Amino acid sequence: MPRHLAIIMDGNGRWAARRRRPRAIGHRAGARAVNLCIDWCVARGIGALTLFAFSSENWGRPEDEVGALMKLFMGALDREIDELDRRGIRIRFIGERTRFAPALQARMATAESRTARHARLALNIAVSYGGRQDIAAAARSLAEDVAAGRLRPDDIDEQLLGARVALAELPPPDLFIRTGGDVRISNFLLWQLAYTELWFTDTLWPDLDAAVLDRALADYAARERRFGLTSAQVAAPAPPDTDTLDA
């Protein structure tokens, strides 16, 4: 069972185009799939879900589409917060949130503080998020510590840097899913996905159903995660604890 699932929710625009509808309609349909996905994670006992909702690069889309997405985020937050709170879901946002309108930033902060004590599902929404920006911010923060004399350059290793990227408090994603048929990472969690199992489907995000997610889970369960070791090493049972044997 994955402890942490990360998803690129892609294909809203194409879903709408197939119906000869504006792209914003596809995004609205995509919001329904988000709820389905959350329900599925809760039902399967998956502890953490990270959803890519808006990338740093998506700011470059036509103004009306960006505007429609902002309206959708705002509406979804207003509508869903009570339900998330009631169900014991902790919501957090990662990304450069200062780029959002103050009203939206305030909604995000309220949603986070209202659900901060919950533990059933850690729901992370990546908005105005970019993996490169995330790593750059972590590097900047380390550099500030070095400049202030709190840290020596020699102290910097993958643990220290890894502690300053987004989601550092969670295990890295075990499983990554991208809908919409494209086989790429698109600047999602670059650092955090180092050993994540990747899974791609042609299903467009608004068409998501539990069967698709179950298929991803079944494929994941059949994979051998080796983390650079050999198959034999991974299969070997843990060596006995000699301290206990001696006692």
The catalytic residues are: 10, 58
Which x/- pattern over 129-168 shows residues binding ligand IPE (rule: CB under 6 A)? ----------------------------------------
Among 34, 32, 28, which residue's Cα sits nearest to residue 16? 28
Q: Is 13 in the site for ligand IPE (CB under 6 A)?
A: yes
Please count the residues of this chain forming the interface with ligand IPE, following the rule CB under 6 A.
Answer: 17
In the complex with ligand IPE, which residue's Cβ is closer, 82 or 182?
182
| Binding flag, residue 174, ligand IPE (CB under 6 A) | no
- Look at residue 147 and give its three-state secondary structure: helix
Instruction: Report whether 14 belongs to an annotated binding site.
Output: yes
DSSP secondary structure string, 176-230?
EEE-SS--S-TTSSTTTTTTPEEEE--S-GGG--HHHHHHHHHHHHT----TTS-
DSSP for residue 88: T
Cβ 216 vs Cβ 47: under 8 Å: no
- Rg (the chain; Cα; Å): 20
User: Is the distance from CB of 87 to CB of 57 less than 8 angstroms?
Assistant: no
Judge whether 201 and 9 are in contact, CB under 8 Å: no
| Identified binder of ligand IPE from the candidate list 11, 95, 131, 173, rule CB under 6 A | 11
4 is in an annotated binding site: no
Rounded Cα gap, residues 32 and 84, in angstroms: 14
> 176: which strand partners?
6, 198
Task: Answer with the entry of Mg ion, ligand IPE, none that 189 interacts with (C-beta below 5 to 8 A by kind).
Answer: none
Region binding ligand IPE by CB under 6 A among candidate stretches 54-62, 102-110, 169-177, 239-247: 54-62
Q: Which of 3, 14, 87, 114 is the binder for ligand IPE (CB under 6 A)? A: 14
**Shortest Å distance, C-beta 148 to ligand IPE:** 35
Distance, in Å, from the CA atom of 245 to the CA atom of 247, rounded to the nearest integer, reads 5
Does the protein bind ligand IPE through residue 37 (CB under 6 A)?
A: no
Of the candidate residues 10, 80, 174, 197, the single one contacting Mg ion (CB under 5 A): 10
C-beta of 183: minimal distance to ligand IPE in Å? 10
Alpha helices (H) in 116-153, listed in sequence order? 131-147
Q: Does 44 help bind ligand IPE (rule: CB under 6 A)? A: no
- Which residues here bind ligand IPE, judged by CB under 6 A? 8-14, 52-55, 58, 69, 180, 182, 184, 186
- Which residues here bind Mg ion, judged by CB under 5 A? 10
